[in-house]
Amino acid sequence: MNSKSIFVLKLSVVTIFIARAYQHFFWDVPYRAILWYENLMRPILSWFQIDWENFVSNTETDTKIQWIIKGIGILYFIASILVLVYNQNSKKWIKVVLTIISIWQFLVVFLFTKESFFQIGQYFEHSLQLGMPILLLYTYSKSFSISKALVFLKVIVGLTFLCHGLYALGFYPVPGNFIDMTISILGVTEKQARSFLWVAGIIDLFILPFLFLKKIAKATAIYAVFWGFLTAFARVVANFSTDFPQETLHQYGFETVVRLCHGLGPLLIIFLLKENTTSKK
Gap between the Cα atoms of 147 and 158, Å rounded? 16
Half-sphere exposure of 119 (CA within 13 A, CB side): 18
Number of Cβ within 10 Å of residue 105's Cβ equals 21
Query: Dihedral angle at the C-alpha atoms of 49, 54, 59, 62, nearest 10 degrees?
Result: 50
**Maximum Cα interatomic distance, the chain, rounded to a whole number of Å:** 68
Predicted local confidence at residue 252, as pLDDT: 92
Predicted local confidence at residue 52, as pLDDT: 86
Domain of 183, in residue numbers: 3-279
Number of domains in the chain: 1
pTM across the whole model: 0.92
Predicted local confidence at residue 166, as pLDDT: 95
Predicted local confidence at residue 280, as pLDDT: 62
Predicted local confidence at residue 281, as pLDDT: 56
Predicted local confidence at residue 39, as pLDDT: 86
Q: Find, among 94, 170, 162, the residue nearest to 128 by Cα.
A: 162
Q: Split the chain (281 residues) into runs of 10 and give each run's mean pLDDT.
A: 94 98 93 84 87 85 90 96 93 95 95 84 94 96 92 98 94 91 94 95 97 96 97 92 88 95 98 82 56
